[in-house]
Amino acid sequence: MYSMLLTQNSTPIFRYIVWIFGKVMEGIFLVLDKVGIPNIGLSIIFFTVIVNIFMIPLTYKQQKFSKLSQKMNPEIKALQKKYEGKKDQNSQMAMNSEMQAIYAKYGTSPTGSCAYLLIQMPILFALYRVIYLIPAYVTKIGDTFRVLAEKIISVDNAEFLKNSGVDTIVSTVNAYGRTMTDDNMSNGVIDVLNRLSSSDMSVIADHYGLNGLTYEGSEILSTLNSAGDIIHRGLIDTYNNFLGLSIGNSPWYTMKESFAAGKYLVVLVAVLIPLLSGATQWLSLKLAPATTQDSGNAQADSMAQSMKSMNMMMPLISIWFCFTLPAGMGIYWIANAVVRMVIQVIMNKHIDAIDFDELIRQNSGKSAKKMEKLKAQQERMNAYANMNTRNISGGSTISGKARLVASGDSDSSSSGSGSSSSAGTSSGGSMMAKANMVRDFNNKNNK
């Protein structure tokens, strides 16, 4: 796999997620190629199905959390009302303790929904990255474009591509040609070629003589007649063709070109992609469980409100983007929404069958056992600390008594006096010696 625009990323975790999804996409395309249908549109659909199946456990946990939160909210609100207006430290500590107990009872956490969303975000960004620049991840498609790139570089080092004077080509180079540097020219040219419309690619092909170039014995570019219709479909158009559309072109571009050529059926298909994208997004969001708001947790409530606003705008945004982005993105959004709806219907039936009251009782029991275990550990630690304190205090008392006996019994026999004095001196000296050692050690380390 070659390093191209958007292929590699310096962010450690994100880079590996993209790499994994790229391998999945490449595997799907190679399987389709083996059975004689090397098609990017179908690859995107199968890719979307696999990724959504992979994310089912995360989606399930998120929705189960949402259901538990709905049942938990009345207790949270009652607790807030109980401590309403109490701002002293003791009251706040007591409120936080009782709040944690409620969350433990239901087996949830204050940041649970946020955590699930944060996990999903890099996955979604990785999906877009793979789909938006497939030649960077599917080696065979990238190598097909590389034949064209090497021809362009051999002619004039891509000077015409960078200074063609054609507005649409210039804008494409400005947007995707950042990697067209001396040490990365081939990859940079591929980035630009992958984003060119069919008419712009035709201009570049005529200037550089790209027609007739082959990869693994097949022509890369299609052969066109004088009217611009395809006589023989090349590899790139074979990869990109989906329901009569080139998914490398935007629906807006396809609509204009097809309408001018009188291909009204193609115009209809091009219009349907954005409309279906918006409709399926809307239906998918309607089937999803409502995001819990007014839960009592400011962070979670803010996130829920943001998600609600975004969900309201997403269908309209997807329609606009699908008109202007390559049709492959629209196909992905439609496939993703349809797959999510199917999974959502199945998941809703499963979640509705869960006895949440029993689940709450189980969570409450686990929480009680955990608290008992923590309490037992704390009691053992306190007992150990008290035992050490008694040992130290006892040693000091004995030493003191020995010193008193040694000083007070001056009329005793020399052996007895010597013995007592020796014991007192030994005990006191031992304690003093240890104290001096500790003092010297502290002084040494504090310098």
Which contacts qualify for 54-59: CB closer than 8 Å, 24 or more apart? Answer: 55/120, 55/123, 56/343, 56/347, 58/116, 58/119, 58/120, 59/343, 59/347
User: Which of 17-21, 64-68, 441-445 has maximum average pLDDT?
Assistant: 17-21
Q: If you average pLDDT over each of 271-280, 350-359, 377-386, which comes out highest? A: 271-280
Q: Please answer whether residues 9 and 211 qualify as being in contact, where contact means their C-beta atoms are separated by less than 8 angstroms.
A: no
Q: 304 — phi, psi (to 5°)?
A: -65, -40
Q: Exposure of 164 by Cβ count < 10 A (0-12 exposed, 13-18 middle, 19+ buried)?
A: middle
Per-residue model confidence (pLDDT) at position 145: 94
337 in Cβ contact with 283 (< 8 Å): yes
User: Which segment of 127-131, 206-210, 265-269, 390-394 scores lowest on mean pLDDT?
Assistant: 390-394
Least confident of 182-191, 241-250, 364-373: 364-373
Q: Which residue has the higher pLDDT, 444 or 52?
A: 52
Q: Are 239 and 177 in contact (CB under 8 A)?
A: no
Query: Does residue 116 carry a pLDDT above 90?
Result: no
pLDDT band at 11 (very low <50, low <70, confident <90, very high): low
**Cα–Cα dist 178/233, whole Å:** 30
> Across residues 383-395, what is the average pLDDT?
62
Domain boundaries, the chain: 12-133+270-352, 138-242, 358-404+417-446
Confidence band, pLDDT 50/70/90 cuts, at residue 155: very high
**Residue-wise burial string across 42-79, b where 16 or more C-beta atoms lie within 10 A, e elsewhere:** bbbbbbbbbbbeebeeebeebbbbbbbbeebbebbeeb
CA 386 → CA 221, 349, 434, distances in Å? Answer: 85, 56, 21
Indicate if the pLDDT at residue 27 is higher than 90: yes
Total-model pTM: 0.70
Q: How far apart are CA 120 and CA 142, in angstroms?
A: 28
What pLDDT does residue 225 have? 74
Reduce the secondary structure of 129-190 to three states and give it as a string. HHHHCHHHCCHHHHHHHHHHHHHHHHHHCCHHHHCCCCHHHHHHHHHHCCCCCCCCHHHHHH
Q: Is the pLDDT confidence value at 263 over 70?
A: yes
pLDDT for 150 beyond 90: yes
Query: Apex CA 364: angle with CA 361 and CA 368, to 5°?
Result: 140
CA 346 – CA 356 distance, rounded (Å): 18
Which residue did the predictor score with more confidence, 313 or 434?
313
More confident residue, 234 or 439: 234
SS3 38: coil
Mean pLDDT of the 144-151 span: 94
Separation of alpha carbons 161 and 153, rounded Å: 10
Residue type, 25: M
Q: Which whole number is the average pLDDT over 114-134?
A: 74
Cα–Cα distance measured from residue 337 to residue 333, given in angstroms and rounded to the nearest whole number: 6
Residue 317 pLDDT: 85
Do 244 and 266 contact (CB within 8 A), yes or no?
yes
Summarize the confidence of residues 214-242 as an average pLDDT: 86
At 281-324, the pLDDT tens digits run 888 888 876 555 554 555 556 656 666 666 678 788 889 888 88
DSSP state string for 252-289: HHHHHHHHHTT-HHHHHHHHHHHHHHHHHHHHHHHHSP
Radius of gyration of the chain (CA): 36
pLDDT at 407 over 80: no
Q: Which residues of 372-404 are buried (b: 16+ CB within 10 A; e: fewer)?
A: eeeeeeeeeeeeeeeeeeeeeeeeeeebeebbe
Tokens (6 digits) for 98: 């009782």
Reply yes or no on whether the pLDDT at 423 is more than 50: no
Q: According to the model, what pLDDT value does residue 34 have?
A: 94
pLDDT category of residue 115 using cuts at 50, 70 and 90: low
Q: Higher confidence at residue 274 or residue 125? A: 274
Query: Higher confidence at residue 348 or residue 226?
Result: 348
Q: How confident is the model at residue 86 (pLDDT cuts 50, 70, 90)?
A: confident
The average confidence (pLDDT) of the chain is: 78
Query: What secondary structure, in 3-state letters, does 114-127 show?
Result: HHHHHHHHHHHHHH
Residue 351, both tokens: 């979640």
Whether pLDDT at 199 is above 90: no
Which amino acid is present at 104? Answer: A
- Mean local confidence (pLDDT), 71-97: 84
Task: Note whether 203 and 169 are within 8 A (CB).
Answer: yes
SS3 letters across 50-76: HHHHHCHHHHHHHHHHHHHHHHHHHHH
What is the structure's pLDDT at 113?
58
Dihedrals φ, ψ of 36, to 5°? 90, 15
